[in-house]
Amino acid sequence: MVDRNGSTDIQFAIIGSAGDGTIAAGDILKRAMAGLGYKVIAFDIYPAEIRGFGKCISRVRVTTEQAYSLKRHSDVLVSLDDSYAIPHVGEVCDYGAVIYEASPIARLPEGAHITAHIRPTQLPYGLNQREISERATSAARSRNIVILGYLAGLYGIDPQAFRDVIAAKFERKAAIVTTSNTTAFDAAYEVGRTVFKLDQGSLGEPAPAKSGETATMMTGNGAIVRGCIDAGLDTFFGYPITPATTILERLAAELPRHGGRVLQTEDEISAISATIGAGYAGARAATATSGPGLALMAEMLGLGVMGEIPSVVFVSQRGGPSTGMPTKTEQSDLNMAVFGGAGDAQRIVLAPTNVDGCYRTAGKAFEMAEKYQTPVIVLLDLYLSNRYETVVPPAKNPFAPDLNKGLEAWRGDGDYQRYQQTEDHVSPRALPGEDGGMHTVTGLEHSELGKPSDLPENHMAMSAKRHEKLKAALTHPDFTICKRFGDEGPIDVGILGWGSTFGEILEAMFAAQAEGIRCSAMKVVMLSPLPEEQIAAFMDDCDAVLLPELNYEGQLANLISGALGRPLTRLNRATGAPMQVEEILAEVRRLARAKAA
């Protein structure tokens, strides 16, 4: 976990039952480590069922160098509940540590204690979690804090960083809560500090922060919220659905302080209708949902396309179809985002690949919605929405406040032509009530005046207008629609990717390069319109192209194959879990070997 250069790469997995404070412990751990200057990627898994039990896992990867994904194998597993942790002992790497309750109260049948499952290559650390907690706080509920103290002591991590986070976490509660938890932490810290260490006991020093930069921890959904606020979001309409709910919750708390409004609607149809209505009225408006909600929104999105009304829809994908697997991740709503709805209803579809990208994409989505007068769908997924990363917020707001092509641009004669054919295919847009801007907006095909028209040549021209205007988005200022990483020039294996999977793709690419395979990766952020030129140029350089994605059908692979007619190798996983770096790497190796043969 600490290499010869002193760089640190250690992943913790805390596993317990709902109610054990598993997620809270992971939250404190990641915030403390980020506060110390380490780079952190974290992801929590919790049960779908709303009841007081079920498996919770908090995985936290701490590095001194930039990392892009969680690792398949954790370096440290902490069990707060052996019945849930035992199936995960195998994920601990060789010479990784397993920390567990050494003195359970209940009598256990053979095999029910985690020591029965720790492999000889793993390092067992028994800890009297309950006893330390009870001694410090007269209750067992601080076991999650106890394990943090033990970890800090065991790995020589500055305890003050934890104490600060604990104090901040409980600042709204009675002072005794902070005091007792800190006492439990300190008691366990001393145990961890003095226990005999079976392996390297301390972490490398984090890289010093660049001047003026302050890193902070954020989830993908948190970054979306921050991006919305910095982009000047006026109104947000939402209906709760996992894993998008936290966008609604956090905006409800924060947006009013920035002069905006949030309304929880009665359902998703209402949410998208209100969003388009607000966009029609000139507001920056958005909604957030998941796959099932997007399905309900399909018809109104068609209205947004036909009416050329700006709106932004954040879609955090989860396992589908139907209710599917609400707390599992998947990338299977790409087809619906790109194609869902009646008619030729192209819209802009964006998919950030990391938390920082969520922030930038959220803000840019509003710019694009306004500039190109269209709905913009931002595709997230559960893994990205809930994943924590350390990010450095930009020093100044990077988003343009208003890109509406307003009424003042109207230079024509006669009645106002809301849908005037222009050189860039974007028409002037009058807002309701603007003098001289009276026009009709309808879901029916319409003329430049907005009046219903089903003339064949009109429908052809308007269809062309609605599609052609979106091409400009491929060169939208200060926005990365796709980007190549790794080796330049001819390469053995190129990896195309989108969304949260791209972190694993990058890690696999670096590993492949380390093995001598000439390897590059390209992330595709703009999925509609598709940056065909750039993708084709990338594929031209590759002897083989691999496209890993978290769906069964290979939705992006189908999209690219259909657009470019080029062969590519698919790697599809629909397990509800993030793609494994090792899976991608194995496929890269196979393709490289096939090329060599």
C-beta of 73 vs 595, nearer to other proteins: 73
**Smallest gap, in angstroms, from Cβ of residue 205 to other proteins?**
23
- Minimum CB distance to other proteins smaller for 51 or for 107: 107
Q: Which is nearer to other proteins, 106 or 174 (CB)?
A: 106
Binding mask 141-180 for other proteins (x = CB under 8 A): ----------------------------------------
Neighbouring CB atoms inside 10 A of 11's CB total 25
Minimum separation from the CB atom of position 76 to other proteins (A): 15
Q: Centre a 10 Å sphere on the Cβ of residue 90 and count the other Cβ atoms it contains.
A: 11
Given the complex with other proteins, which of 113 and 466 has the nearer CB atom? 113
Task: Tell me which residues in 195-214 interact with other proteins (CB under 8 A).
Answer: 196, 198
Structure tokens at 227: 């991006």
Given the complex with other proteins, which of 116 and 342 has the nearer CB atom? Answer: 116
Amino acid at 523: K
- 264: helix, strand or coil: strand
Of 204-263, which residues contact other proteins (CB under 8 A)? none
Min CB(111)–other proteins separation in Å? 8
- In terms of C-beta distances under 8 Å and separation of at least 24 residues, what long-range contacts does 462-466 make, across chains too? 462/419, 463/344, 464/425, 465/419, 465/421, 465/425, 466/305, 466/306, 466/308, 466/344, 466/346, 466/374, 466/425
Q: What is the nearest approach in angstroms of other proteins to the Cβ of residue 109?
A: 7
Q: CB neighbours (10 Å) of residue 39?
A: 21
- Min dist CB 90 to other proteins, Å, is 12
Least distance in angstroms from the C-beta of 121 to other proteins: 4
Q: How does DSSP classify residue 195?
A: S
8 A C-beta contact, residue 5 and residue 32: no
CA torsion through residues 47, 50, 53, 57, sign? positive
Angstrom distances, CA of residue 410 to CA of 283, 420, 435, 449: 20, 9, 12, 13
Q: Which of these, 543, 571, 574, 547, lies nearest to 559 by C-alpha position?
A: 547
Which residue, 104 or 398, is less far from other proteins as judged by CB?
A: 104
The nearest distance, CB 2 to other proteins, in angstroms, is: 15
280-297 as b/e: b if 16+ CB within 10 A: bebbbbbbbbbbbbbbbb
Instruction: In angstroms, give the least distance from the CB of 126 to other proteins.
Output: 5
- Smallest gap from Cβ 56 to other proteins, in A, equals 22
Q: How far is the CB of 106 from other proteins (least distance, A)?
A: 7
What's the distance, CA 18 to chain centroid? Answer: 23
Residues numbered 96 to 135 that lie near other proteins (CB under 8 A) are 101-113, 115-116, 118-121, 123-126
Residue placing its CB nearer to other proteins in the complex, 116 or 175: 116
Tokens of 29: 């751990």
How far apart are the C-alpha atoms of 495 and 93, rounded to whole Å?
27
Best CA proximity match to 279, nearest among 219, 368, 362: 368
Pick between residue 113 and residue 429 the one whose CB is nearest to other proteins. 113
Nearer to other proteins, 196 or 266 (CB): 196
Min CB(100)–other proteins separation in Å: 9
Task: Return d(Cα 39, Cα 30) in angstroms, integer.
Answer: 9
State which residue, 127 or 525, has the beta carbon closest to other proteins. 127
C-alpha distances (whole Å) from 18 to each of 84, 177, 315, 445 are 10, 20, 27, 53
Residue of 61, 44, 59, 58 whose CA lies nearest to 8: 61
- Total site size for other proteins, rule CB under 8 A: 26
Q: With respect to other proteins, which residue has the nearer C-beta, 121 or 202?
A: 121
What is the closest distance, in whole angstroms, from the C-beta atom of residue 95 to other proteins in the complex? Answer: 8
- Between 103 and 202, name the residue whose CB sits nearer to other proteins: 103
Considering the complex, state which of residue 123 and residue 263 has its C-beta at the smaller distance from other proteins: 123
Confirm or reject binding of residue 441 to other proteins (CB under 8 A). Answer: no
In the range 567-586, which residues lie near other proteins by CB under 8 A? none
Q: Which one of the spans 94-102, 234-242, 417-425, 437-445 is the region binding other proteins (CB under 8 A)?
A: 94-102
- Which tokens hold the place of 137? 């706080």
Smallest gap from Cβ 112 to other proteins, in A, equals 6
Nearest to 479 by CA among 372, 389, 560, 398: 398
Burial of 346 (0-12, 13-18, 19+ CB in 10 A): buried
- The footprint of other proteins (CB under 8 A) covers 94, 101-113, 115-116, 118-121, 123-126, 196, 198
